[in-house]
Amino acid sequence: MDEAKGLTARHQKALEKAAISPGRIQLVRTITSEEDLPTELRRWGDRVLPAMEFTWKTVTGETLHQIRLNNPITGKDGNEIRYLFGDGVSGLIGVDPAFAEHQEDTRIPALLVEGTKQFMAAASALEDDHPSAVPFGIPGCWGWSSDGEPCTDLRAMALANRDVLVAYDADFLTNPMVFLAASRLKGYLEGEFLARSVRFLVIPGGAKDGLDD
């Protein structure tokens, strides 16, 4: 393990491969023991370890912890679980502190990015671009919603008369559920939130390829 960053070599390599900047990589740590899990995730025990821990800062000022499991587990619904938040987390939009002064500037397009590493990669790429767009993170294709409705963070964003770009993973055109999530998001952005335009980036590749690939 790299003691300076608290990362195993495997995790360090994965984040570097995702084109995440060194400063952002330093904010991630490897968890190998149950007592090091965030309090809200300790009920999972060592079955979710080892894992990477990410810290999300949200539009409304919350700080939330998320882990990425090395070895996925199967949930009660039979679906694979790779990422976990604590109980009760339902819908959030992440922000990157480097873009704090631009988050409400509607002259600059907002870029909504699906995925934890994808969001960090987008922020890393855009940081020195003055910025050409302000990245915001969505933890999953439905992560912008809570009980099917826009979450509190989405409602708090400055979106009226703003150009919005959305970067879902490459499967958003082929996976019906992801396409539905994208369509619902587009409807809210154009309707209730009065965005000037909404455009989806077409990510090359297949399956779960994203901006970090």
Model confidence at 201, pLDDT cuts 50, 70, 90, reads very high
Which of 87-91, 184-188, 204-208 is least confident? 204-208
* pTM of the complete model: 0.92
Cα 168 to the center of its chain, rounded Å: 10
DSSP 208: T
Can you tell me the distance from the alpha carbon of 86 to that of 65, in angstroms, rounded to the nearest whole number? 7
Q: In terms of Cα–Cα distance, which of 94, 27, 20 is closest to 60?
A: 94
The confidence score (pLDDT) of residue 70 equals 97
Q: Which amino acid is at 9?
A: A
The confidence score (pLDDT) of residue 208 equals 62
Neighbours of 152 (CB within 10 A): 16
Can you tell me the distance from the alpha carbon of 104 to that of 111, in angstroms, rounded to the nearest whole number? 12
Mean pLDDT of 27-31: 97
**Angle CA 131–136–141, to nearest 5:** 140
> Helix count (H) and strand count (E) of the chain?
5, 11
Given a contact cutoff of 8 angstroms between Cβ atoms, the answer to whether 142 and 175 are in contact is no
The confidence score (pLDDT) of residue 144 equals 98
* R_g over Cα of the chain: 17
Is the four-CA dihedral 62, 193, 129, 122 of positive or negative sign?
positive
Q: What is the pLDDT of residues 33-50, one digit of tens each?
A: 999 999 999 999 999 999
